[in-house]
Amino acid sequence: MISQLFILSSKGDRLVYRNFRGDGGDDVTDAFYRAVTSLPGDRAPVFMAREGRHFVHVRHGGLYVGVTTTADTSPFVLVEFLNRLVTLLREHCGTLSEKSVSVNVALVHELLGEMVDFGYIQTTATEVLRSATHGEPETTKAFSLLDLRSVGLFGAETQQSKVAPGSITNRPVLPPRGEQPARSELFVDVVERLTVVIAANGTPLKVDVQGEIRLKSFVPGGCELRMGLTEELSVGTEEQRGYGRLPLAAVAFHSSVDLEEFEQERVLRVTPGPGEVTLMRYQLAEDVPVPLPFRLLPSVEWDPAGRLRIHLKLRCDLPPKQGDPTLCPPSPPSSHAINVVLQLPLPREASSLAQELSSPEQTAELQGGGRCLRWAIPRCQGGAQLGAVFRVQLPPTPPLGLGPAALTFELPALTVSGLRLRCLRLSAPPGAPPAPPQRWVRHLTHSDSYVVRL
């Protein structure tokens, strides 16, 4: 049960506060802010017991969205609820920021009134809330530079993505009452996260691909969406799934997805209301070889005076040409990785760094007080091989091994599993506006944890 709910600005100002159960004073937000700011560094635990209360919070857009609760409540319920709340606030206020929340405070209260009663969560479904609320959202202009974070995919927490018009997703999904929506649009993102551990000898120890298909719809409800997935898909344990090229170990669907045609045709049918949903989450079976995007070939020379010479060769194993015109939309002609960053922990605090990089747009620096080497490559074409030499001065004791190297990157327009959307059809309900909605399909892989041991 939720006792109190609050949204605080990054400075601790109270933007929204509801006391659902009439217990406790109104000073909880101060207590919370004191507690959360007194924590060391980034290690804010999700759950804090302070001054006789249990706090649960999440941070989004610089805001603290939190609740206080009694002990017998499921923490999952609370975190899930808070995440939903954040999504809903985004849907209703466009973006989630101090400004958008404070301008829409009446609407937020109205939503909360429907979502939670006496601390019991009632609903978080956009459509239900739509029918029970009456407030109109006030939009705020996205402020230009500071808001770069929210540009790009709404789903993945990536720094940026230039594959689709991002900023248009930052508006309330619900058009003002009585008006035609400005543009009816539909976004489908297939986002995969890649977790890889490669042993020192180059063999992959662990390859884990998790993906999800997310849908954000600005289309008024009522039209049915048919979404065809790669046909080679197969689901289940090894015995069950047969010989598909794309075996998934586990799949979970949103409850609104109609799976009637999934077994035979690999088609998901869904009738989306306006709003954002995760239609499908999946996990690639672990025993399947996935072409790994990067390979790292290091060589390290060490002399007793503490000079370390590290020669790194980074090979991007993405196919240089990847064109398959039968796909809809056709995949881009070539593949590449962007925002590649390699981080290499050093055994001791390094005092100096000299580098030779293969192109001027790359950068290298020491971080964490000299404990970590950071090599950034803004863009890397499929099939390319990049080399770099680093000379590092360390204190003269034998090093306790180097690494492991961690890579972060994004692969736009590519899913490592090979799962793609074959087609996306909208069947309009009778009496729908003549203009078919604009459809955007985006594929993306980003590295969750890509570790190469040395």
Partner 1 sequence: MTDSKYFTTTKKGEIFELKAELNSDKKEKKKEAVKKVIASMTVGKDVSALFPDVVNCMQTDNLELKKLVYLYLMNYAKSQPDMAIMAVNTFVKDCEDPNPLIRALAVRTMGCIRVDKITEYLCEPLRKCLKDEDPYVRKTAAVCVAKLHDINAQLVEDQGFLDTLKDLISDSNPMVVANAVAALSEIAESHPSSNLLDLNPQSINKLLTALNECTEWGQIFILDCLANYMPKDDREAQSICERVTPRLSHANSAVVLSAVKVLMKFMEMLSKDLDYYGTLLKKLAPPLVTLLSAEPELQYVALRNINLIVQKRPEILKHEMKVFFVKYNDPIYVKLEKLDIMIRLASQANIAQVLAELKEYATEVDVDFVRKAVRAIGRCAIKVEQSAERCVSTLLDLIQTKVNYVVQEAIVVIKDIFRKYPNKYESVIATLCENLDSLDEPEARAAMIWIVGEYAERIDNADELLESFLEGFHDESTQVQLQLLTAIVKLFLKKPTETQELVQQVLSLATQDSDNPDLRDRGYIYWRLLSTDPVAAKEVVLAEKPLISEETDLIEPTLLDELICYIGTLASVYHKPPSAFVEGSRGVVHKSLPPRTGSSESAESPEAAPSAGQAAEQPAVIPAQGDLLGDLLNLDLGPPVSGPPLAASSVQMGAVDLLGGGLDSLMGGSGFTAPGPAAPAAMGAPLGSGLGDLFDLTGGVGTLSGSYVAPKTVWLPAMKAKGLEISGTFSRQVGSISMDLVLTNKALQVMSDFAIQFNRNSFGLAPAAPLQVHAPLAPNQSVEISLPLNTVGSVMKMDPLNNLQVAVKNNIDVFYFSTLYPLHILFVEDGKMERQMFLATWKDIPNENEAQFQIKDCSLNADAVSSKLQGSNIFTIAKRNVEGQDMLYQSLKLTNGIWVLAELRIQPSNPSFTLSLKCRAPEVSQYVYQAYDAILKN
Site for partner 1 in 53-92 (CB under 8 A): 54, 58, 69-77, 79-81, 83
Shorter beta-carbon distance to partner 1: residue 35 or 328: 35
CA distance 314 to 312: 6
Of the candidate residues 226, 241, 281, 313, the single one contacting partner 1 (CB under 8 A):
281
Residues 9-28 touching partner 1, rule: CB under 8 A, are 13-17, 20-22, 26
With binding defined as CB under 8 A, does residue 445 bind partner 1?
Answer: no
Residues 200-259 touching partner 1, rule: CB under 8 A, are 206, 208, 210, 249-250, 252-255
Minimum Å gap between C-beta 210 and partner 1 is 5
Binding mask 27-46 toward partner 1 (x if CB under 8 A, else -) reads: ---------------xx-xx
Residues 339-398 touching partner 1, rule: CB under 8 A, are 345, 347, 368, 371-372, 397-398
Shorter beta-carbon distance to partner 1: residue 257 or 426: 257
Residues 115-144 touching partner 1, rule: CB under 8 A, are 117-118, 120-125, 132, 134-135, 138, 140-141
Shorter beta-carbon distance to partner 1: residue 393 or 408: 408
Minimum Å gap between C-beta 71 and partner 1 is 5
Minimum Å gap between C-beta 431 and partner 1 is 27
Q: Which residues pair with 276 in a beta bridge?
A: 216
Of the candidate residues 178, 289, 303, 400, the single one contacting partner 1 (CB under 8 A):
400
Residues 291-330 touching partner 1, rule: CB under 8 A, are none
Of the candidate residues 12, 35, 50, 105, the single one contacting partner 1 (CB under 8 A):
105
Size of the site for partner 1 (CB under 8 A): 87
Shorter beta-carbon distance to partner 1: residue 248 or 388: 248
Of the candidate residues 51, 127, 185, 448, the single one contacting partner 1 (CB under 8 A):
448
Of the candidate residues 35, 142, 164, 197, the single one contacting partner 1 (CB under 8 A):
197
Q: Check if the beta carbon of residue 1 is closer than 8 Å to that of residue 54.
A: no
Tokens of 188: 């489908």
With binding defined as CB under 8 A, does residue 161 bind partner 1?
Answer: no
Tokens of 75: 């923490």
The one segment of 106-114, 178-186, 259-267, 316-324 that binds partner 1 by CB under 8 A: 106-114
